[in-house]
Amino acid sequence: MPVLRLLPAVLALLLLAAHFYRAGLAFLVPACIGLVLLMMVRLAWVPRWVAGALVLAALEWLRTLLVLAGARLEAGEPWLRLVIILGGVLLLTLAAAWPLRTDAARHWYGSGKS
């Protein structure tokens, strides 16, 4: 599987690692880095695990969006730009999982039987 197809997933996981670090959840950073490294292992179960992790990452971005937008609304501050940016990050994180669910990924990582 060409590296360019995996690049969105790598970037999404690194962005999530930065998010966790900034949020004071540094113990989750190695998990994100570990998933990036795991993508180098050609075993059939790897794309399913990484795609699942990206779906969970999208849920974390949704939670963050709701918390921060709610705080902005309560404070009477502008919130639309925040929602657009975090909504975009959420959608791009979900989109990064898609190449891992294709036939090309199943062929690259193995037969799909693990």
Per-residue pLDDT band for 5 (boundaries 50, 70, 90) equals confident
What residues does each domain of the chain span?
Answer: 3-108
**Per-residue pLDDT for 113 more than 70?**
no
Q: What does the alpha-carbon distance between residue 77 and residue 59 come to, in Å, rounded to a whole number?
A: 24
The verdict on pTM exceeding 0.85 is: yes
Q: What is the pLDDT of residues 29-75, one digit of tens each?
A: 999 999 999 999 999 999 999 999 999 999 999 999 999 999 999 99
User: Dihedral of CA 13/17/23/25: which sign?
Assistant: positive
